[in-house]
Structure 1
Amino acid sequence: MTYSDRKARLPGTLYIQGSWVHARSDLKFTVRDPATLDVFGECSDGDAIRAREASVAAASAFPAWSETPAEVRASFILQLAQLLERDAEFFRDLLVSESGKPRREAAGEVASSIAFLRWNAQQARHRLGRTLSSPQTDIQMWTVKRPLGVVAAITPWNYPLNTLCRKIAPSLATGCTLVVKPAPETPFSAVELLRRAEEVGFPPGVLNLVTTSRAAEAVQVWLDDPHVRKITFTGSTEVGKSLFRGSAKTMKRISLELGGHAPVLVFRDGDIEAAADAIVASRFRHAGQTCVCAQRVYVDEGVADELASSLTKRIKELRVSNGNDPNTDVGPLINEAAFARVTSHLVDALSKGARLRAGGSRVDLADPNRGFFFEPTLLEGAKPEMRVMQEETFGPLLTLSSFSTEEEAISEANSTSYGLVAYAFTNNLSRAHRLIEELNFGTVGINTTQIVWPQLPFGGFKDSGIGKENGLEGIDEYLNIKSAVLKISDAS
């Protein structure tokens, strides 16, 4: 079933100043279902002129929206959450067809998106500054928080709905207006969310959408536009660094959630079976195409065989199939380039001495499932010089290495250029606190791999990004903090 069969009846998929419009010259690009490789739908292919129109619309809407009472802004966001909840099954099925993820994972993405909208709506009412103590009785000091202005939100294909809600919710809550550019692989989640925003009745220009296959062209417009005061991007480290350089010209605020290479440290005092469950669930979620998934497992040599056996058993039980099959555990890779990257990392590791414990091959399914399916794979004996140990694979490939001391484990975990998320399994409370202090990552999960929550700040160190999303710290990324000093004169 195509996107058009499901719902779309739009003049175009660009949403600017409260209207749906075509791209100029009616240019379009195609979107394919990763499981079947069939054309799922067509999107309007926006250009620099449409991108400019979108940022102009957002800038014109900003003064009124920024002065809209917080209760009213919160009501708009809550209504959007209600419509997303009303249409949860539609969005679930859309995510399966766009991104290839299994149905239960898609359902989870919808649920988490609703949670992010609702939490940020609550925070819209609490944009508080601080009253500060003064060294003089005739001086009062306080801070005031004001919205930045126009925000450009650039979202990835792997979690197209969740990442969009994580960006638009705090923007809208704080009084910012937006231009949005979704990934060309998965644009329809954004299109449909904006349709719900239109149904809610957001004022024209508050939310604007540019679908395009020419990302650099559109984004350059926003980098150059002084009215765009913030860039928020989730995606690759390479693109993030380019945006960081480009934002300097107009001194924009920038938030970058970039690549990850998450280590998992499993100690002999930890729960080995629980660790195996969590590692497999994390690594093979969305076929390993997540920035927070476990990639490198380091296990105490005293329990290495036990963990290897537990992981192997669970991995071999995973079902690879079309995400529309309710029994699917692992869906397809997004495209051929993703398949090539996984294959090259595997070949490199095997050539340098890694041993294959499970998987390692493409999965050929019956028609119409012609996509790039790959077996969940476990490699033993991984070494630091292997590409899979230094580069983000973004696929269903897991490595297993052993360590003899805690210090060695921490050193290996910190040895890449990434610093997004790390995990550890231990029942030693003192060790847990040491790991939290010494692992150089933005988030550390102890005895769990569930680490993304609306109220918890999230963001990476080193090549994994700048700034925070989520939590009060994430909201502050969309605010300017103004300091005020008042001298009180004696009444005359």
Structure 2
Amino acid sequence: MSTVTESGVVDAVNKELLIGGKWTQAKEGKTFPVHDPSTGKVLCEVANASKEDGLAALDAAVAVQNEWAATAPRERGEILRRAYEKLMQRQEELALLMTLEMGKPLAEARGEIAYAAEFFRWFAEEAVRIEGGYAVAPNGSGRFLIAKQPVGPSLLITPWNFPMAMGTRKIGPAVAAGCTMVIKPAAQTPLSMLALAQILADSGLPDGVLNVVTTKSAGGVMEPLIRDGRARKLSFTGSTAVGRKLLEQCADKVLRTSMELGGNAPFLVFDDADVDAAVEGAMQAKMRNIGEACTAANRFYVQRGIAEEFSRKLTERMSALPIGRGTEDGVVVGPLIDEAAIQKVSELVADAAQRGAKVLTGGATVDGPGNFYQPTVLTDVPGAARMASEEIFGPVAPIAIFDTEDEVVDKANDTEFGLVSYVFTSEIKRAIRVSERLDTGMVGLNQGIVSNPAAPFGGVKQSGLGREGGTVGIDEFLETKYIAVSL
């Protein structure tokens, strides 16, 4: 909308903590800055919560848990439905807000708002489909009643790369299941979550059901909540390293956990594939969100017969991508989130080049303000290169050649991660065979995007625990209770 301005969308967001339905300053009055990654300038200051603020948020969630759990499923679903509609009505301003704090181009930000809203629509429908069971005991003397009940107060931690969608993907099933929440958004991108919290309040979510704590001290605020014992669930999206630490903390109180962690996605292209379709899929799998996604293709394996053609066409596409501030018309590649991200990508590319990889395009930062890195394609990337085992999280596509199916499956599985993989082939038997052999929770078969609110999202090995979305997503916030009935 022409009336939407950058300063306007930032000013419209409440930048305090949301605790028990009230917007409040941090107890110590502290704040921290939110930066525009395309310019480095400060957009605003938001409340910097302390441990005491976090515990107050948990107090609020615990206080209303029983009342919220007793709310009719239809009522919970209607709240989510209204929130879905408000997200779509405000898509333009919310997209601009996200672009300002995270950097992704406006077109992608609009897409994320629509994607985020779909989680609310999906779980609005799932709220009334929570089912139990009834069975006759094997000896006939009694009956088994199976009930599904809310886990209870839940702690939610979301990342910076999809600041709205990762919120709705967790809040949606928690609301539908009847759980109260304390959510901590990433310090780099708190504004989208604060805006989302207000939308939920405006949609009728009762006070205390959702509490938001923004903070620069993630561990200092969240660890006491985990160890407190009253929260019964932690859902985290972020790095595997942080996930391991959180799992150790959760073990003390035996909290239910959902972990959506790092990835190292292999992208397999067999020589019977449609090369143009594979290149298109590669662009989607690599460049969604500027490559800053756990689902991003991290290792490209191309069969020798088409390796030259695939590399040439991918290079042509990557080198033509417009780079700039996400608010500018036509921009496809925005800035990375911060200086640390630029440094890591630069180090990984330099390491690969030193080990013999060839840079076909890109391979350098962009001069000027902001955290920009050129879209990059590398070929002849050796297995010893760091980017073969480390998540790149940037616009870099490393290509290696393979000869046989067994060889490439072994290479694809040779990682501690197992979130998603991509396979391009026109041979149906190979498609099924390879998809089943890959050690990942998801497979993109002849397509470069797998995320869908109606499908179960999650990985195996050190890419995480549990699933988000789909018909199983709500189960992460439900406990199964067995009631034995004697006749």
The question of whether the paired residues in 2 share the 8 Å contact of 1:101 and 1:332 is answered with yes
1:341 aligns with 2:344: yes
Distance 1:359 1:253, change over 3 A: same
Cα distance in structure 2, aligned partners of 1:317 and 1:132: 62
Quickly say closer, same or farther: Cα 1:4–1:310, change in 2 above 3 A. Answer: closer
In 1, Cα distance between equivalents of 2:453 and 2:315: 33
- 1:306-317 equivalences in 2 (<5 Å): 306-317=309-320
Cα deviation, 1:105-142, whole Å, max 9, x if unaligned, reads: 00000000111100001000011012335323332223
Letter paired with 1:86: Q
Distance in 1, matches of 2:470 and 2:137, equals: 29
The residue type equivalent to 1:154 in the other structure is: I
TM-score (norm 2): 0.97
Alignment check: 8 A CA contact 1:153 1:167 kept: yes
Letter in 1 for 2:31: K
Instruction: Note the alpha carbon deviations across 1:255-288, whole angstroms, 9 max, x for none.
Output: 1101111101101111110110110122122221
Structure 1: how far apart are the matches of 2:12 and 2:27?
19
Match in the other structure for 1:481 = 480
Which residue is 1:273 aligned to?
A: 276
Residue matched to 1:208: 211
The answer as to whether partners of 1:261 and 1:391 remain within 8 angstroms in 2 is yes
Task: Give the share of equivalent positions with the same residue, in percent.
Answer: 38
What does residue range 388-467 of structure 1 map to in structure 2 within 5 Å? 388-467=387-466
Change (3 A) 1:144 1:431: same
Q: How does 1:221-240 map to 2 (within 5 A)?
A: 221-240=224-243
- Per-residue CA deviation, residues 149-171 of structure 1 (Å, 9 max, x unaligned), is 01111000000100000000000
- Provide the residue aligned with 1:135 in structure 2: 138
Supply the AA of the counterpart residue of 1:315. M
Shift of 1:101: 0.1
* Corresponding residue for residue 119 of structure 2: 116
Give secondary structure in 1 for the equivalent of 2:34.
strand
**Cα distance in 1 between the residues matched to 2:194 and 2:261:** 24
The match for 2:468 is: 469
Cα offset, 1:25, TM superposition: 2.4
What is the match of residue 219 of structure 1?
222
Q: 2:376 & 2:12 partners in 1: Cα distance? A: 42
User: Residue 60 of structure 1: SS of its match in structure 2?
Assistant: helix
Q: How far apart in 1 are the matches of 2:13 and 2:284? A: 38
Q: Choose from 59, 63, 67 the match for 1:64.
A: 67
User: 1:12 deviation in Å?
Assistant: 4.8
1:301-359 CA-to-partner distances (Å, cap 9, x unmatched) read: 01111111111111111111110112011100111000000000011101111111111
Aligned in 2, Cα 1:467/1:263: closer, same or farther, shift over 3 Å? same
For 1:275 and 1:315, locate their aligned partners in 2 and report how far apart those are by CA, in whole Å.
Answer: 14
- Structure 1 residue 82 displacement after superposition: 1.3
Q: Distance in 1 between matches of 2:66 and 2:364?
A: 56
Q: How many residues align?
A: 484
- What secondary structure, in the 3-state scheme, does the structure 2 residue paired with 1:25 have? coil
Q: What residue ranges of structure 2 are gaps of 5+ in the alignment?
A: none
CA displacement, residues 360-384 of structure 1 (integer Å, 9 cap, x when unaligned)? 111125xxxx101111001101111
Residue number in structure 1 paired with 2:199:
196
- State the secondary structure of the residue aligned to 1:84: helix
2:151·2:477 contact (CA, 8 Å) conserved in 1?
A: yes
What pairs with 1:298-337 in structure 2 (closer than 5 Å)? 298-337=301-340
